[in-house]
Amino acid sequence: MLKLGVNIDHVATLREARYRGLALGEPCPVEAARICEAAGAHGITAHLREDRRHMQDRDIWRLREVVKTRLNFEMANSVEIVAIALKLKPEIVCLVPERRQEVTTEGGLDVVGSETSLTETRKRMNDAGIEVSLFIAPDLRQIEASARTGAQFIELHTGQFAEHVADAAKGESELQRLIAGAGLAHSLGLQVNAGHGLNYENLAALNRVPHLVELNIGHSIVSRAVFTGLSAAVTEMLGLMKSYRG
């Protein structure tokens, strides 16, 4: 069964647009996590960025208390955030690149160029009982390097696929990259997640990508929730995922 991890960062983004710098405010990402789990989500994803533009430290610690499924902690490979993760002890961390000028995480990690430091962080996390995923483009060299780090998972960046899915030729090309990447990762012993730009319209095309374990979806679900409510938005996404056969 294909699992759904709901990224609740954009709930915090909405809160911070009005209550930046304040200890209280709405909507509450922790309450969002409760609703998502109650609706059937298999995990909750949250990214504590170095600039704290959406999720705040208090959110992360409260999530650790209330999440009953699986807390996926997205993070940069920085000294400060690594230390927080080791204390937080989520079930899994997903190491992602961060650039201050981006609106949300764009592009994947350069594992080839950072293999030594990522391997060291992977060891520290695994020693603490935390699984590790690396957020990467479906590039074969990056997948091979990810396997060499000893990571348990990769998360394939589906942003290019999502951007070009409406163009038959470009969409098919990006889909083939994901298919090849997932196949290689599986052959190397990596478990495969995917995320970025996935929504209610383009999800069906992803059924052709083999070996997927979990999809991490945030913006589309939070956007749909504006009109339908969060529980209904999660339920609808889960319904669309039932057709996946892997």
User: Is 219 tagged catalytic?
Assistant: no
**Which run of H or of E encompasses 33?**
helix 29-38
d(CA 96, CA 162): 19
User: Is 74 tagged catalytic?
Assistant: yes
> Which residue in the block uniquely carries the two structure tokens 């995320």?
195
From the candidates 37, 42, 74, 155, which is the catalytic residue?
74
Helix, strand or coil for residue 231?
Answer: helix
From the candidates 54, 157, 196, 214, which is the catalytic residue?
196
User: Is 196 tagged catalytic?
Assistant: yes
> Which residue in the block uniquely carries the two structure tokens 């204390």?
87
Smallest CA-to-CA distance from 104 within 34, 47, 44, 21 is with 47
From the candidates 10, 37, 42, 47, which is the catalytic residue?
47
At residue 154, φ and ψ (nearest 5 deg) are -120, 155
**Tokens for 106?**
């764009």
Helix, strand or coil for residue 196?
Answer: coil
Active site amino acids = 47, 74, 196
